[in-house]
Amino acid sequence: MKDQIASTSPVAKFSDPFTTAKGEERAVVAFSNPETLWFNTGTLCNIECVNCYIQSSPSNDRLVYITADEVTDYLDQLEDRRWKLREIAFTGGEPFMNPEMIEITRRSLERGYDVLILTNAMRPMMRKSMQNGLIALSQAYPGKLTLRISVDHSSAKHHDTERGEGAFEKTLTGMRWLRDAGIRMAVAGRTVWGESEAESRAGYAALFKREGFEISAADPGQTVLFPEMDENADVPEITTACWDILDISSTSVMCASSRMVVKRRGAEKPAVVACTLLPYDAEFELGATLEEAETSVRLNHPHCTKFCVLGGASCSA
C-alpha cells in the first residue's frame, strides 16, 4: 500500500484533481447508487464547538437557511431523475434553528422517505413549536423519523470540552424529552479520546441503559463513531490501484450514494455539492440541479482519505 499512497511532500498533495503528488492516477468515485440526499439547513448554530468541521456558530451564516419550497423543488427533481433514495437527511448548523424545519420535514415524509435530522437536542429543538411539530410528525409517520443526537462522548467531561460547560446535561434533557415523546433517536460520537472502539461503545451502552434510551451502542448505524477530521493532517492520497490493494469497493464511499444541497449567502438559488464534509470547497460543487450532480467525484481532499476510504465512515444512517 505504501507504494501506492505513500506521501512525498505534504504541500504537493491534493493539488491536482487528476494525479497524486507521485504522479499516479487519482481515484474517482462514480455516482452509482443514490441512497441519501442531504440538505444543509444553514450553518447558524446555538453553540460553537471546538472542532466543528463546518465552522458552525451563532454568527456563521455562510450557508443560509434553506426554505421548504427550495427543498420541495429538489424532492420533485428526485422523482424526475428516478433516484431510488432510502432517506432524506438534514444537517447544519443546528437544523432546528431553521424556522421552516418542521414544514421541511413534513414535506419530505409526505413523499414516503425516511428522514434523518442531525441535532444537538438543545434549546432550538426544545422550543414548543418544534416539540409540537416533532410529536405530530412522529405520530403521523411512525418509524420514518430519526433524530441523530451529537453526543461527543459518554461522559460530561469530554463532551463539554468540545461543546462548552453544561452542554452535556442540556443535550441529555433534550434526549429525555425525545425518549418520553417516543421519537426515535440515534447518536453520533467522536473517536478522539484515546479509547478503543469497544471502550467507547461500552461507555455509550452504560449511558443509554442509565437513561432508558432505546439506542443500541453496538450497532454502528445507531451509535456512529466518527474519526476526527483535520484538513492539515498528513494523510495518503488514494489512487485507482488502492481499491484492489485495500480490498474496498468505490461504491462503498459516501459520494457514490449521496449528495448535499446547500444555499450560499448571497446566492440566488441552492447548489449541489458532492459531500457533506466539503460544503465550502468550489472543486466539489457540482451544479444547481440533481441532473448536474450525477457525475463522478475525484478524491482530491484529505477528508476523502481519512474519513471515507481509510476511516470507512459515512454520514448516512
**Within 13 A of 314's CA, how many CA atoms are on the CB side?**
19
Q: Which of 120, 128, 117, 97 is nearest to 173 (CA)?
A: 120
* 90 within a domain of the structure (yes/no): yes
- Count of the separate structural domains present in the chain: 1
Span 105-118, average pLDDT: 98
* 156 within a domain of the structure (yes/no): yes
Percent of the chain with pLDDT over 90: 82
Domain span at residue 163? 33-233+253-309
* 287 within a domain of the structure (yes/no): yes
* 182 within a domain of the structure (yes/no): yes
Element (H, E) at 73: helix 68-81
* 20 within a domain of the structure (yes/no): no
pLDDT for 24 equals: 92
Sheet with strand 87-91: strands edge to edge: 223-226, 184-190, 145-150, 114-119, 87-91, 36-40, 258-262, 271-273, 285-287
pLDDT digits (tens, 9 = 90+) for 13-40: 999 999 999 999 999 999 999 999 999 9
* 242 within a domain of the structure (yes/no): no
C-alpha cell recorded at residue 17: 484533481
CATH code assigned at 291: 3.20.20.70
Q: Quick check: helix, strand or coil at residue 243?
A: helix
* 3 within a domain of the structure (yes/no): no
Considering all CA atoms of the chain, what is the largest pairwise distance in Å, rounded to the nearest integer?
57
Span 112-141, average pLDDT: 98
What are the beta bridge partners of residue 226? 190
pLDDT-derived band of residue 181, with 50, 70 and 90 as boundaries?
A: very high
* 315 within a domain of the structure (yes/no): no
pLDDT for 232 equals: 72
pLDDT digits (tens, 9 = 90+) for 41-60: 999 999 999 888 888 999 99
